Chains A and B, each alone.
Chain A
């Protein structure tokens, strides 16, 4: 178990390093240079030069690279041109809303999707199953941004049940702050619920045809115990694997959702910073959100290892 986890961590480190280097060079792809981009066409050469110095763009490329990598390691990412604030502080301020949004959506989608998929598989070919298949297929095709807008229109504008947009931290709003999250989470989770229902159903049907399920039945175990103990635990592993993939989709979805609901998270920060040409922030934020993704994925693997003895005892999956 410990060996598996260390190995997993050790793969993240070089990956992050190469990613950081890649992000660095991606920024060099900008037509012209970030300083002149930032200041626009009216800027004088002096102004541009001054900004270049401020952004350390006058130094040789390798010095800039080392500064950037060193900054990532120490947490000193420089200062935002627009906010006039240390970037690390900005990132930290925008982290919580995104994390809340993503994790709540994941949690919600996993619970609903797993239950629906389970019911669908156990009652295969019944009316319930057919309805669930239709619903999950439709859910998968609903664009999250569109659903977000429709939810705002219906529950926010027409019914007035939930706020149309905005965000409140838990410290400020207590449990009332969750009302801001309901619609965004629904918008993000729906497609994932569809996918999960479909996958859990397929996996469960597969598991139900496995020999060990027949063994369990032949022992004289009652139906529900065969389903919930023997079959479901095997299906749960798939759910955990899928959670990793869903995280990727959700973090992407968060960018769009935050923009619809004006939630001050990483996604909104990135898009707004692109518009403001605050490229240092864009670069750092993308780096940070990706690192976050890798970390969450690592946690998913830990859960996986706990569930599947074949992983923790090191015979499967390197």
Chain B
């Protein structure tokens, strides 16, 4: 055990014990949480199915079998068929490609850009002024409305959905990173590093970034959930992914007109969105708990 731990032990025995325990079993806590594992497995499975869609899906996403229109879920079509005789399961698997792909692209790019902007904002006063004014502007639109505005003028396409949602998420990520950075900058260990003439870059990447990582990861999982919802919403309105590219929102939107006779067209895509979003939230909660010492039975003095 290193010096840092023994120093802790001196002042706060319970916390010190907790810290020691925590280092040993951070992952164990996550994996003791069955909901978090299940969620992770579900998302991973969904991701794999999306990647391998052409091989996994029983039919092509746009293959129409007019004779088999409105087939209820059964042996040939596990999740039934729609008004054009397209296999719902296949459309959902290809839809996962769009929905999860868009969300992943949005979250990853906005994580990179937002983190960079947030760090810069937290360190350089002048840049901060400019960046914050821009985020103010972008965040003045309610999220979906902002996306709607961009989609309205760019036209429906997967690329535009990514762009629209990216513009919605980047300022929010930047804000959070900036806030965390400003708090950390006041901490003694950062001051100490500055005192030892560590370069700004070094402090940013070696001291700040690792310390804001865990709340950020939680935020990104929640952001992923939000993006899935938003993408589905835009596609549902018919201004997201174009008609030839299936996405969950689109399948839901097409199916709603036949809701009274073909319930599966409405229920299935909804369940898919629900489970994906739920898994993200539960996984996020699981990751958050790892960072929360109360999970280790912290006692108050």
What is the interface of chain A, defined by CB distance below 8 A to chain B? Answer: 15, 18-19, 22-23, 26-27, 29-31, 137-138, 140-146, 149-150, 152-153, 157, 209, 247-249, 251-253, 255-256, 259-260, 270-271, 274-275, 279, 282, 286, 289-290, 293-294
* Complex A-B, nearest 4 residue pairs according to Cβ-Cβ distance, in ascending order: A252-B144, A146-B270, A141-B278, A248-B142
Question: Are A255 and B152 touching (Cβ within 8 A)?
Answer: no
Q: What is the CB-to-nearest-CB distance from B257 to chain A, in angstroms, rounded to a whole number? A: 10
A selection of 20 A-B contacts at a CB cut-off of 8 Å is A15-B136, A15-B137, A19-B140, A22-B137, A29-B153, A141-B275, A142-B274, A143-B252, A143-B270, A146-B273, A150-B266, A153-B259, A153-B260, A157-B260, A249-B144, A251-B142, A255-B145, A260-B256, A274-B152, A274-B239
What is the interface of chain B, defined by CB distance below 8 A to chain A? Answer: 136-137, 140-145, 148-155, 225, 229, 232-233, 236-239, 249, 252, 256, 259-260, 263, 266-267, 269-270, 273-275, 277-278, 281-282, 285, 300
Question: Are B145 and A137 touching (Cβ within 8 A)?
Answer: no
Question: Are B142 and A31 touching (Cβ within 8 A)?
Answer: no
Question: Are B148 and A290 touching (Cβ within 8 A)?
Answer: no
- The complex places the Cα of A142 from the Cα of B233 at a distance, in Å, of 12
How many pairs of A and B residues are in contact by the CB < 8 Å rule?
Answer: 126
Chain B hits for A138, CB < 8 A: 278
User: Chain A residue with minimal CB distance to B282?
Assistant: A137
Chain B hits for A141, CB < 8 A: 225, 274-275, 277-278, 281
User: Chain B residue with minimal CB distance to A30?
Assistant: B153
- The complex places the Cα of A286 from the Cα of B152 at a distance, in Å, of 10
Chain B hits for A255, CB < 8 A: 144-145, 148, 233, 237
Question: Are B237 and A26 touching (Cβ within 8 A)?
Answer: no
- The complex places the Cα of A153 from the Cα of B143 at a distance, in Å, of 28
Could you list 20 further interchain pairs (A-B, Cβ under 8 angstroms) beyond the known A140-B277, A145-B249?
A19-B141, A22-B137, A26-B150, A141-B225, A142-B274, A143-B229, A149-B259, A153-B260, A153-B266, A251-B144, A252-B143, A252-B144, A252-B145, A255-B148, A255-B233, A256-B237, A271-B148, A282-B149, A290-B142, A290-B145
Identify A31's interface contact among B155, B229, B273, B277, CB under 8 A: B155
- The complex places the Cα of A251 from the Cα of B187 at a distance, in Å, of 39
